[in-house]
Structure 1
């Protein structure tokens, strides 16, 4: 049996090709195993991408804070409206009703005079 050199070369080339394809199919590598980067790590904390903000102005001292609180509470009490006291609200409502009646009377008087005058 004589096998030609040409057939031997074909068979050996085919064997090498089959062996190399078989090696590729059976190799299981971890994804990105050749990368220097590792995957995400669960650190148990929320990601923080920005630096902590710093105060742009000087901070209040405790004395300044107390003084500011007292000034604002005085200003707040000075702005209390009539709804804070029912008697004041009732008096204000009565004044508005009286003013309304006076204006209605004045308006009727003005309209009565203007309609009676000839044009």
Structure 2
């Protein structure tokens, strides 16, 4: 008996389709369908999923707060630039002018000596 390849392919394809359709027919029941509770129950309380936060550090005392404020104020005042004091700014500008004049004289001396 000779079975054609075409017939063999048709039979295997139909077997696969039958198995696939039978798998769709056997669906599992809904989750918790046999549970006596049918829905959410109002317990009258709000659910808390995380613990209450706690303070991770100790709080400053008023003395520590004043000491820290004084330290930061002193640090800020020490970083003030010359623009905070007009006399210091004028001295700095005079130093820069003098240095610029000295450099110009040195440059002229070097240029005149090389030529």
Computing the radius of gyration from Cα coordinates, the structure with the larger value is 1
TM-score (norm 2): 0.47
TM-score (norm 1): 0.46
